[in-house]
Amino acid sequence: MKVAFFDSKEYDQNSFEIANSAGKYEISFYETRLTKDTCRLAEGCDVVCVFVNDDVNRDVIDELVKMNVKLIALRCAGYNNVDIQYAYGKIHVVRVPAYSPYAVAEHAMALLLTSIRRIHKAYIRTKDFNFSLNGLTGFDLHGKTVGVVGTGKIGRIFIDICRGFGMNVIAYDKFPAKDSGIEYVDIDELWRRSDIISLHCPLTDENRHMVNAESIAQMKKGVVIINTSRGALIDAEALVEGIKMRQVGAACLDVYEEESNVFFHDYSGHIVDDDVLARLISMPNVIVTSHQAFLTNEALANIADTTFGNIEEFFDKEYSINEICYKCPELANCKQEHDKKCF
């Protein structure tokens, strides 16, 4: 079984080589992203394994089908970078729906604490033996209202963490979790009431740029916005304007809508030509991490094990519990029980 890994880094290679210690799979690792220009690297392979910034569009799907690649295995939960509807009937797609929800939820809280208690600024100061406290005043989380958008596994774990800090929690989800004890409100009420807003939902056509100029105008002055989900949930230019107008008090971003050509690469010796990202990074009340919320040893091991499990199920059992298509429940009223292939 030959598998081509695209957009792979050292940490990917280590975890997948450990998971493949029995040598069941013949693996090729490529640092380049999967695009129409690079998909030829998968020639002769049964599977391509892709990550969040690989561009699995119509042209790529057609090329993979021509090369007789039988499976696209996402090693992530989100699949907005795959043309799921076009893939239906041509090539099967599987994903890793959960690898470590604790990793992402904990990173979201780490970003929040770092921001509001100015930990990043204090760290830099004390490295220079500057022990002044000027400009480092933060605020208590206890008693603040946090609005959580999306109450899947990650969102609910983040809610538990927030409750541990004594925060008041409200949430919005198109499909509320039953018997969860969570106070659900409509999205406009969440914007209005929240001191802190954290996004934990997948990206769809419906919620793209859900945080925009209009929604920011509804929020409390000084609101803190956290995004560890998908960059395009936020209109980055509107966020910049919201920060400049002092409407947004702070932003904690592990994702960015135009991250695909920047994140996971070292540009420290280069000039980044994304002016919006450059402006965000330059702002003192913005923290940007490079899509690293998932990056723990536990998560990497789970991703590797689940990915290989998906591949094994697909070829050995003729189905995969983690297959996705445009008819799946998140997108339509599909009755598929995932006890057979979707087509």
Active site residues: 230, 259, 291
Specify the long-range contacts of residues 65-72, CB closer than 8 Å, at least 24 apart: 65/90, 65/91, 67/39, 67/40, 67/42, 67/43, 69/42, 69/45, 70/46, 70/314, 70/315, 71/46, 71/47, 71/311, 71/314, 71/315, 72/47, 72/48
Buried b / exposed e over 128-137, threshold 16 CB at 10 Å, is eeeeeeeeee
Residue pair 262/270 in contact by the 8 Å Cβ criterion: no
β-bridge partners, 224? 196, 250
Q: What is the rounded distance in angstroms from the CA atom of residue 27 to the CA atom of residue 42?
A: 11
Q: What is the rounded distance in angstroms from the CA atom of residue 147 to the CA atom of residue 170?
A: 5
Q: What is the rounded distance in angstroms from the CA atom of residue 171 to the CA atom of residue 49?
A: 34
Q: Which amino acid is at 41?
A: L
Residue pair 139/118 in contact by the 8 Å Cβ criterion: no
Q: What is the rounded distance in angstroms from the CA atom of residue 333 to the CA atom of residue 326?
A: 10
- The H-or-E segment that residue 149 falls in is strand 145-149
Q: Which of 116, 72, 99, 337 is nearest to 225 (CA)?
A: 116
Reported residue count of the chain is 343
Residue 131 neighbours by CB under 8 Å, 6+ apart: 125
Q: Which amino acid is at 262?
A: V
- The H-or-E segment that residue 72 falls in is strand 71-74
Q: What is the rounded distance in angstroms from the CA atom of residue 20 to the CA atom of residue 22?
A: 5
Residue pair 97/76 in contact by the 8 Å Cβ criterion: no
